[in-house]
Structure 1
């Protein structure tokens, strides 16, 4: 009985260490180490403080052999970074490369912001892969087209149009000044930080990190950046004022809560 209890205690001590080593090995792309650690019982769904798993680290850093091994072991693909709110497929589209994105798509991974990130990076191969295998919905295609045109990526824009992309609607709705006034205030939330909404000469502006952006209205509570309508802000209005807003940037959503003035 004593030996059994000692063995269980030893396993409980070893498990977190094995998981940490697996996360680090996956981050580095060390396939033999990953295989050995999984063989010793390391948890393939172990998470960092921000929710990244071994598969997430391997995909983000472009380690295709490790990605394929972990997928073969049944690693989950519906993983999202809790800090940047980035999906597994989006992380791969950002930095992981074509082979990694292809492996994840074949395994059924999805991420609403992945196409926009691939467009932003100007990666035609990954854009083509996502269009062919993921079949993004119309709203994602439209947002991606807007991004491609702003980034002066005519070849990617043509690919998106061939897939059915239409120019997104413009934020041109007319909202009364008293309705706009309900939204004015300062909002905070990670990782954006502080975001201030101001009303100037009947127009709404957002300010963050020393930059100011004019906001155009889709309706009384939904706005887009005039220069980049695919970046939207959805305000939640309660009791005669906005209490929070949701910032949507290429599918990555961030919630910011209104800070009460003292």
Structure 2
């Protein structure tokens, strides 16, 4: 009987602890996002130790790492990566990874960098690449913005998608980078094709068709003139806008479609609707 009472009391205490802990998590996450915005490394470390999520997202889908990269704060980047931050996570609003945020920094453009921002943005770009950032999608941006060493790092790794190589080639030529142009051609780059443009109708045409999830949910993507539409049973039709070569989203940013890669046949896609994600596979014979 005594053992039973102890078990009941322990269970109640545990439940109370969990109930107390759960409501604090969003608060800690918001504080971590604020610490990243302020460039406060000490506060960010303390919040992570208390259980804040290193990949928390604000209302625009920006993570602490993306914010730190935008503000060129190398100390924060190292902290977040050491706590397991996903360096390739892409925000659903702007389609930016931490690397792309570092290349074209909003904070820099606004003159609103954190006090401890690195003097050299190239240092932050190199740090992110060394920590595993996938530079393929950002290759043309690296070249166009003059980060040639970063571009060389990406190409030398190999495995860059053909589409990204093609996009970077004219950027290298415009920049007068003959050596980099040769490097891209040796890696397989050719002149960009119409489908290398994320807004090209040719890309939308490849996506059109019917897809089904493992749970039986169904969606249809179809072209209406130059727009791509998403239809689902019992749901309003949604117009999708391309963020880049692998991501489309609705105007209200609640619906996001992600593809495996720009050159991968779009037989599988991920649909995220207001935070909930599911994998969909194209139904054979239902291409449009």
TM-score by length of 1: 0.62
In 2 relative to 1, CA 5–137 (structure 1 residues): closer, same or farther, beyond 3 Å?
closer
Moved more, 54-63 or 245-254: 245-254
Q: Alpha-carbon deviation of 1:121?
A: 1.7
Q: Alpha-carbon deviation of 1:153?
A: 0.7
Q: Name which of 125, 131, 137 aligns with 1:113.
A: 137
Q: Alpha-carbon deviation of 1:159?
A: 1.1
Is 1:168 the counterpart of 2:160? The answer is no
Q: Name which of 141, 152, 177 aligns with 1:128.
A: 152
Moved more, 247-256 or 23-32: 247-256
What's the CA shift string for 1:185-210, capped at 9, x where partnerless? xxxxxxxxxxxxxxxxxxxxxxxxxx
Q: Alpha-carbon deviation of 1:5?
A: 5.3
In the alignment, which residue of structure 1 is the partner of 2:176? 154
Is 1:100 the counterpart of 2:124? The answer is yes
Contact 2:136-2:154 within 8 A present in 1 as well:
no
CA distance in 2, matches of 1:143, 1:239: 26
SS at match of 1:109: coil
Is 1:47 the counterpart of 2:70? The answer is no
In 2 relative to 1, CA 13–141 (structure 1 residues): closer, same or farther, beyond 3 Å?
same
In the alignment, which residue of structure 2 is the partner of 1:183? none
CA distance in 2, matches of 1:38, 1:57: 16
SS at match of 1:145: helix
SS at match of 1:154: coil
CA distance in 2, matches of 1:3, 1:86: 43
Q: Structure 1: which 5+ residue stretches go unaligned?
A: 172-221, 258-262
Moved more, 82-91 or 132-141: 132-141
Contact 2:167-2:192 within 8 A present in 1 as well:
no
User: Greater share of strand residues, 1 or 2?
Assistant: 1
In the alignment, which residue of structure 1 is the partner of 2:200? 232
In 2 relative to 1, CA 99–169 (structure 1 residues): closer, same or farther, beyond 3 Å?
closer
What's the CA shift string for 1:194-243, capped at 9, x where partnerless? xxxxxxxxxxxxxxxxxxxxxxxxxxxx5x7xxxx686332336999647
CA distance in 2, matches of 1:249, 1:58: 22
In the alignment, which residue of structure 2 is the partner of 1:181? none
CA distance in 2, matches of 1:17, 1:148: 45
RMSD (Å), alpha carbons? 3.4
Q: Name which of 40, 48, 54 aligns with 1:30.
A: 40
Higher RCO (C-alpha 8 Å, min separation 6): 1
1:1-262 to structure 2, matched below 5 A, reads: 6-95=16-105, 97-133=121-157, 136-149=160-173, 152-155=174-177, 157-163=178-184, 164=186, 166-169=189-192, 232-233=200-201, 234-236=203-205, 242=225, 244-245=227-228, 251=245, 253-254=247-248
TM-score by length of 2: 0.57
| Matched pairs, number | 199
Q: Alpha-carbon deviation of 1:75?
A: 1.4
What's the CA shift string for 1:127-170, capped at 9, x where partnerless? 23333346534432221111333xx3102x53132242644155
Q: Structure 2: which 5+ residue stretches go unaligned?
A: 1-8, 106-117, 209-220, 229-239, 252-288
